[in-house]
Structure 1
Amino acid sequence: MKSMFFSKSFVFLIISLLLASAHVYSQTFETKVDSILQHKFQPDEPGGVFLVAKDGQPVYRKAFGKANVELNVDMKPEDVFEIGSMTKQFTAIAILMLMEEGKLKLDDDITRFIPDYPTHGKTITIHQLLTHTSGIKDYTHMKSIGSIARKNLSPKELVDFFKNEPMDFEPGEKFQYDNSGYVLLGYIIELVSGMGYEDFIEKNIFQKVGMNHSCYASDREIIKNRAYGYQRHGDKLYNKRHISFNITYAAGSLMSTVDDLLKWQEALNHNLLVSQTTIDLAFTNYTLSNGEKINYGYGWHLKTINGMPDREHGGSIFGFKSMAVYIPEKDIYVVGLTNCDCNSPTQVTRDIASLAAKYF
């Protein structure tokens, strides 16, 4: 009986030590992430929110700095940010959803949907729009972009703004990041579905996934827990410059939270929106016409962290920056959202993902 007592005590001791060790291990990870982010964000300046999830569960979730500098409002983990080009993930998945419904094919020429689009005798496919290999000029790089930046153009009017520009290269010849391609994809979503882009994303993605704090951006609507955007010029901080969200449209006009973006990642992981075969298309490293890999799928950059393949994308729009990294091998998701476009979360998000991959 005595030996059994010591055996149980020994087992209890080992379990206690393991639990204590796990607690310290977790604390160490938290402390290291805190150190990275506290160095980047000052308490009295615009800040950010960061979340780390392992196996779909948050292991780190904190806010830094101010959500509103003028009113001295601290940032909260629940705050809502403009996510800029992370919008492209949602546009890409919306296209894949329509593909599964048989309403379009990825090798369709865009003139099937926009007959008057001048392709200069070339075939430009939906696939090439998704992969930034179409050769269409990026309208955000046009000198005349300032003339429309604050106008509430319709999708057709926005397409008309850039459609007559000369091609930058032959379709499929190069990878060149291109917002025009995702504007065209948004317009095609509207033409094929019969719904506005905003309504399509809200009904078919946000509502289905339970992303209750995500929306198409607006400067006029009251959005609970909105983080206000800032820009810095020299040493001075300013409220963000106004731009019409009809101009950034399907390439960059969504708002979200770190919690909703984790729901988004989980929806992708569990095939809530499209089948596994279809989602694999988004995460395929495609090639140019010469066979060269582009390290991009549909709406995601495909890179590596600690030698492991990852899927990542950032976003930048006046007053805000965003970044998210997913490491499939470890089921680790890291997302960072900031409310000053002077303070990019890109590198720190990758650094935190690298750190998480070593800990978990």
Structure 2
Amino acid sequence: MQLLKSILDQYLEREYFSGAVCTVIKDDDLVFEQSLGYTNINQSQKVTSETVFDLASLTKIVTSTLILRLITNQKLSLKTQLGDCLPIQQKELSSITIHQLLTHSSGIKAWHPFYTHLPERNFFKLLDDIEIKHDGREKVEYSDLNYMLLGKVLEHEYSTDLNQIVNQNLNKRLSSDFSYGPLNASNIAATEFGNRTEMGMCKNRGLDFNQWRQTDQPIIGEVNDGNTYYFFNGQAGHAGLFGSVKDLIKLNDLYLKGGVYNHEVFLNEELINQSLENQVGQRGLGWHSGRPFPAGMGHTGFTGTAIWIVPEHQLNVVLLTNRLNTKQPQNLQGFREEVFKAIMDEFI
């Protein structure tokens, strides 16, 4: 336990993040929890276990969970094609299956800044107008676009917006507080100083955009992700949710308990098993294996978030940082690997 605390303290000191929280649960017992640093680089408020983080791509696990709920209720299947559940005509898209989207094996490219096409807001029209396929050298291409489409599937099936869908179909059942922004609460971890990273990505692609947020102020309570903020009005299937350690512990626990929460079957056990096994490459249904996870399955987020579960050891881990709220954002891969190895050594 001392090693784990030491690793967290060292990386805070090296300014890999201005604040973090790490929680480890083993066999339903809280065996480690540490909050350190501050919600903002200005050091005005300390991080606690209640601090709300921009979850970034951990949103994808919530989206995949809600999709699996629809499959459990026989509203969809893994074989359902997009043409059967969305109002799209495009041939390339219509034959893509839910399974391919969940496992990032659809052939769709990783990223596109849809906001550079504003004022056009018709997502499907833009998909018609841009090259959406990657070069196909690898079967798996981790893609935000896959989960943007899954978000659209949810909206179409429920005929309402994603925040309502999350509230009605997840929060009420798990007693969680996941929410799309904007949020005005005081205890929120700050992220990037404007969208500096995406500004560079657009510049490298020769794409213009003139509505960027200010780069001299950190983003607080608004989603960091550019597509979600500028194009999808804060709500998307790939990014946009905010939540705390406690919310993510409950989500992880749903998968560790075979889809049962509070004695109620929320997800089909067979779907849970498929989710936590490699389906294509190192991808399950939403989750993934391999680095930085030494065992089991997990997911990471651009803002510095990560969740990790090892079902055979009933290990439930949440590691949240605000890595973008620093002078110079760093890659957290090595940090995460050190933390997760220390957890394996200590608790398994």
Band the TM-score falls in, shorter-chain normalisation: 0.7 to 0.9
Tell me: higher relative CO, structure 1 or 2? Use CA pairs within 8 A at least 6 residues apart: 2
Distance 1:116 1:259, change over 3 A: closer
Query: Is this contact kept in 1: 2:88–2:124, CA < 8 A?
Result: no
Match 2:240 to one of 241, 253, 264: 253
Distance 1:127 1:312, change over 3 A: same
Cα deviation for residue 340 of structure 1 reads 3.0
Distance 1:90 1:226, change over 3 A: same
Q: Aligned residue for 2:207?
A: none
What is the Cα-based RMSD across aligned positions, in Å? Answer: 3.1
Q: Partners in 2 of 1:43 and 1:304 — Cα distance?
A: 22
1:20-64 deviation per Cα after TM superposition (whole angstroms, max 9, x unaligned): xxxxxxxxx1x2111101111139972211112211322221222
Distance 1:239 1:276, change over 3 A: same
- Alignment partner of 1:187 is 2:152: yes
- Alignment partner of 1:41 is 2:21: no
Distance 1:84 1:249, change over 3 A: same
Letter in 1 for 2:62: F
Q: Partners in 2 of 1:34 and 1:339 — Cα distance?
A: 17
For residue 38 of structure 1, give the secondary structure of its aligned residue in structure 2: helix
Distance 1:127 1:325, change over 3 A: same
Q: Aligned residue for 1:89?
A: 61
Cα deviation for residue 343 of structure 1 reads 4.4
Q: Partners in 2 of 1:68 and 1:309 — Cα distance?
A: 32
Letter in 2 for 1:55: D
Q: Aligned residue for 1:15?
A: none
For residue 313 of structure 2, give the secondary structure of its aligned residue in structure 1: coil
- Alignment partner of 1:104 is 2:76: yes
Gaps of 5+ in 2: 197-214
- Alignment partner of 1:53 is 2:25: yes
Q: Aligned residue for 1:352?
A: 339
Q: Partners in 2 of 1:315 and 1:304 — Cα distance?
A: 14
- Alignment partner of 1:116 is 2:95: no
- Alignment partner of 1:207 is 2:172: yes
1:86-235 equivalence runs, <5 A: 86-120=58-92, 123-138=95-110, 140-142=111-113, 145-148=115-118, 153=121, 157-168=122-133, 174-212=139-177, 214-218=178-182, 221-231=183-193
Q: Aligned residue for 2:322?
A: 339
Q: Partners in 1 of 2:298 and 2:93 — Cα distance?
A: 34
For residue 323 of structure 1, give the secondary structure of its aligned residue in structure 2: strand
Match 2:301 to one of 315, 324, 343: 315
Distance 1:179 1:300, change over 3 A: same
Looking at CA atoms only, which structure, 1 or 2, has the larger radius of gyration? 1
Q: Partners in 2 of 1:55 and 1:345 — Cα distance?
A: 27
For residue 60 of structure 1, give the secondary structure of its aligned residue in structure 2: strand
Match 1:239 to one of 188, 205, 218: 218
Q: Aligned residue for 2:199?
A: none
Gaps of 5+ in 1: 1-28, 288-293
Letter in 1 for 2:318: V
Q: Aligned residue for 1:5?
A: none
1:197-241 deviation per Cα after TM superposition (whole angstroms, max 9, x unaligned): 2211111112211113x21121xx3224212223498xx985147
Cα deviation for residue 191 of structure 1 reads 1.0
Q: Partners in 1 of 2:237 and 2:92 — Cα distance?
A: 24
Cα deviation for residue 182 of structure 1 reads 0.6
Aligned residues: 310
Q: Partners in 2 of 1:117 and 1:74 — Cα distance?
A: 50
Query: Is this contact kept in 2: 1:117–1:163, CA < 8 A?
Result: no
Q: Partners in 1 of 2:172 and 2:13 — Cα distance?
A: 35
For residue 356 of structure 1, give the secondary structure of its aligned residue in structure 2: helix
Query: Is this contact kept in 1: 2:306–2:319, CA < 8 A?
Result: yes
User: Identity of aligned pairs, percent?
Assistant: 23
Query: Is this contact kept in 1: 2:81–2:97, CA < 8 A?
Result: yes
For residue 312 of structure 2, give the secondary structure of its aligned residue in structure 1: coil
Cα deviation for residue 346 of structure 1 reads 4.1
1:231-267 deviation per Cα after TM superposition (whole angstroms, max 9, x unaligned): 498xx98514784532661101111111221111112
Match 1:67 to one of 21, 33, 39: 39
